[in-house]
Amino acid sequence: MNIIDINSPINDQINFLEGRVILIDKPLNWTSFDVVNKIRYQLKRYHGIKKIKVGHNGTLDPLATGLLMIFTGKYTKRIPLEENHDKSYDANIKFGASTDTLDREGAENVFGEIDHLTEEKINSAAASFLGKQIQEIPIYSATKIKGKAMYQLAREGKSFEPKVKEVEFLNISKCVYSKPFCQISINCGKGTYIRAFARDLGYKLNTRAYLYGLIRTSIAKYNIERAIGVEEFCSKLEQLEYNS
């Protein structure tokens, strides 16, 4: 694949309609769709066209940052083939409380004791997740029930049975605990919810926990160190337009 990263020269010879993969470092508080829209708009101006296909191969929540692979033009046909890659994350988990959304988007509303927690106990509990697991999908997610996203049903106050899925944890390491926060690195298969892992880790340790922060550090062989900021990428395209 033709990859554009932080070190790639961007010039007027690049044909995004023919297809490129852009390694983007998603900013905090942006949705993945925000990134796609911003880049689509800039590419339409760059090529002087009204339409171009742009997509990605793995959603990041607004409060997560890190690697997002953006596919353009003919490369969007490859997205289904590029969705099964392993992904790695650096997660910051807060113990002693939880939220409805399982991350900082919601307010803390359920609490648990944490005086019994140690780094050793957290490491041991985290290691028990290795391998394939059945994971309950967060109710505040885009997964649909009878054609409607669970997060919409949840916000409407409707009761429903959350869906579950099989996920796989390949490696869990670098657990560093500083009460009440734990920094932990996770390598996992497609479709794993790190928010759900934080919740389940809290249950395993007889307390509550939620995802306080998340960085996606890699997708397959592609690493966050290669990613370019979305504003920087768009600025380079604007400069080409200005100089043309």
Instruction: Report the catalytic residues.
Output: 61
Beta bridge partners of 55: 71
Give the separation between CA 204 and CA 183, rounded to whole angstroms: 17
H-run or E-run covering 229: strand 228-229
The rounded distance, in Å, linking the Cα atoms of 143 and 150 is: 6
Tokens matching residue 188:
């996992």
3-class DSSP assignment, residue 48: coil
**DSSP line for 125-171:** HHHTT-EEEEEEPPSSSS-EETTEEHHHHHHTT------EEEEEEEE
Rg of the chain over Cα atoms, rounded to whole angstroms, equals: 20
Give the closest residue to 83 by CA, choosing from 57, 116, 115, 45.
57
CA–centroid distance for 13 within its chain: 31
Tokens of 48: 């002087």
| Cβ atoms within 10 Å of 188's Cβ, excluding its own | 22
Question: Which 3 state secondary structure label does DSSP give 220?
Answer: coil
Place of tokens 């409407």: 156
**φ, ψ (nearest 5 deg) of residue 166:** -90, 130
